Amino acid sequence: MKRKCILIFMIVLAMGMTACSSESKENAVSVETDSHRKRIRKKPQIQKLNGVLNILIISLIGAFAGHAIYVCLDYRTHPGLYAMQSAPWYTGILYYGIYTIAPLIIAIIIKLILWRKLKQQK
């Protein structure tokens, strides 16, 4: 069961990385060296930070989704363990959601600020 959750998390993480890396090559510059040509990309710092924030946001969402799926499946498999607790079975999901939403909101606010700066530059 835990392997499936880890696999789902890895798939979400890979999808986020591929979504962030599919950028246009308009900033690419060709440089000739001795025997071959190299492509060097010039990328402003704001775009790099934007890509890192994309990966962070998708990773946080994927980690929360994976944890929630794991707890739900674990509750279906072992309902007796959760019946012994005084709190409802979904309390762990709520705490994890609270701890995930704080950095997610901060990352989204920074991303909106960067988006406005990029929009002003163009």
pLDDT in tens, 26-83: 554 555 555 555 555 556 788 888 899 999 999 999 999 999 999 999 999 999 988 8
Indicate if the pLDDT at residue 3 is higher than 50.
Answer: yes
pLDDT at 64: 95
Q: Are 61 and 103 in contact (CB under 8 A)?
A: no
Phi, psi torsion values for 78, nearest 5 degrees: -125, 70
pLDDT at 24: 47
Mean pLDDT rounded to a whole number for the chain? 80
CB-facing half-sphere around the CA of 43: CA atoms within 13 A: 14
Neighbours of 66 (CB within 10 A): 20
pTM of the full structure? 0.62
